[in-house]
Amino acid sequence: MILVTVVPLSKGEGTSPTELVGRCLVNQLLKAGKKVRVLADGRQANHWPDGVQIVKGNVALPMESQAVFQDIERVFLAGASAKTINENLILAKRAGVQRVVVLSSHGPEYEINYPPETWFWLAIEKAVEQSGMEWTHIRPSAVMGSMLEGSYPATGSGWVKSIRQEGVVREPYMKTGHYPFIHEEDLAGVAVAALLEDIYIGKILEAVNVPISTKERVQLISQAIGREILMEELTPDQAREHWRNQGWPDDTIEVTLYALDEYGKYPDKYFKWTVEQCPSVEQVIGRPVRTYGQWVYEHINEFQP
């Protein structure tokens, strides 16, 4: 049996769209004939497919649901906390878990330059590597569907409301900004491969897509809904205030601003880095990745007044 962990939405440290990815993953695992258990709390525990075992709890609070690892062979670990990761791993290994697949981020690439006591994502990855269980880390691009949830990154997180109500998008680096996104179904497909196939044991999988410009993202939505969307350029300071008003913490805002600017300044560099990743997402999932335009058409009603 495979355990999938899901946590409530948060804009704080370690935020990721665990429910969005988890639901895609569970559906794909069921289609592959696998038995699945989900650890989730609150509304995240509702409306899963028939046959899925639901345990109410939070992976960040492992001592409150210690039995969740019983009869589990493999774990998709999403939403874990650096503060309690070792408790999870002790419980998992004691219960006989064989493999842990971590939904990580690209944070470790930067955290390695700072003292270990400051690590978050890297602390989780290192703990899993040292647990004695098989492991794979998935470091994804931002998830396309995150804008519907209002989860990381800050860019795009308020677009649905502003497009619906005003027909406008407010963003910094409107003309030059770029950001990489992956479709949630493609990310889930990478997770399925990591969980079920042995060739990815002990590897870091870069579940990445080439950066897309902010302007193109807006244009794709505009074309899909058949109406003009005004693009209002914000200065970085205006963007900080705008995103703070949406509840984003300062550290997440700064990371988003840096990334929009960095990807925009060096698009060729990051395009080259993305296409050179081996294995590529296409190789892992066995088909072409879905585009941002495809994702928009799948959710076109979300942007309508």
Same domain, residue pair 124 and 20: yes
Same domain, residue pair 45 and 73: yes
- Rounded mean pLDDT of 137-151? 91
User: Smallest Cα–Cα separation from 45: which of 30, 59, 35?
Assistant: 59
Tell whether 227 is covered by a domain: yes
CATH assignment at residue 172: 3.40.50.720
CA angle 205, 211, 216 (to 5 degrees): 145
Last residue in a domain, options 140, 161, 190:
140
Query: By mean pLDDT, which of 15-19, 98-102, 182-186, 252-256 is the weakest?
Result: 15-19
Q: Is the dihedral of CA 19, 25, 28, 33 positive or negative?
A: negative
**What is the count of structural domains for the chain?**
2
Last residue in a domain, options 140, 159, 191:
140
Question: Which pLDDT score is estimated for 116?
Answer: 83
Percent of the chain whose pLDDT exceeds 70: 99
Summarised one tens digit per residue, pLDDT across range 273-284 is 999 999 999 999
CA angle 153, 146, 58 (to 5 degrees): 95
Tell whether 39 is covered by a domain: yes
Last residue in a domain, options 115, 140, 165:
140
Question: Which pLDDT score is estimated for 13?
Answer: 60
Same domain, residue pair 57 and 103: yes
Strands (E), the chain: 2-5, 36-40, 53-56, 74-77, 99-103, 134-140, 142-143, 168-172, 178-182, 203-207, 211-213, 230-234
Q: Is the pLDDT of residue 153 over 90?
A: no
Domain that holds residue 22: 2-140
Query: By mean pLDDT, which of 14-23, 43-52, 198-207 is the weakest?
Result: 14-23
Tell whether 192 is covered by a domain: no
Burial class of residue 215, CB neighbours in 10 A (0-12, 13-18, 19+)? middle
Tell me if 73 sits within 8 A of 89, measured CB to CB. no
Question: Which pLDDT score is estimated for 119?
Answer: 81
User: Smallest Cα–Cα separation from 67: which of 84, 48, 53?
Assistant: 53
Same domain, residue pair 130 and 154: no
Average pLDDT of the chain is: 93
Query: Which amino acid makes up residue 57?
Result: G
Tell me if 138 sits within 8 A of 102, measured CB to CB. yes
Same domain, residue pair 159 and 249: yes
Bond into 62 cis (ω within 30): no
Same domain, residue pair 252 and 119: no
Tell whether 222 is covered by a domain: yes
Same domain, residue pair 158 and 51: no
Tell whether 169 is covered by a domain: yes
Local confidence band at 106 (pLDDT 50, 70, 90 cut-offs): confident
Tell whether 275 is covered by a domain: no
Q: How far is CA 266 from CA 85, 176, 272, in A?
A: 36, 10, 10
Q: How far is CA 128 from CA 132, 136, 139, 202, in A?
A: 8, 9, 14, 10
Same domain, residue pair 227 and 127: no
Question: Which pLDDT score is estimated for 152?
Answer: 79
Tell whether 47 is covered by a domain: yes
Same domain, residue pair 157 and 134: no
Q: Which of 95-99, 246-250, 267-271 has the highest mean pLDDT?
A: 95-99
Same domain, residue pair 118 and 25: yes
Tell whether 125 is covered by a domain: yes
Question: Which pLDDT score is estimated for 131?
Answer: 96
Question: Which pLDDT score is estimated for 14?
Answer: 63
Local confidence band at 112 (pLDDT 50, 70, 90 cut-offs): confident
Bond into 116 cis (ω within 30): no
Local confidence band at 193 (pLDDT 50, 70, 90 cut-offs): very high
Question: Which pLDDT score is estimated for 80?
Answer: 93
Q: Is the pLDDT of residue 64 over 80?
A: yes
Q: What is the rounded CA–CA span in Å between residue 110 and residue 127?
A: 17
Same domain, residue pair 161 and 93: no
Q: Is the pLDDT of residue 10 over 90?
A: no
Tell me if 202 sits within 8 A of 266, measured CB to CB. no
Same domain, residue pair 239 and 136: no
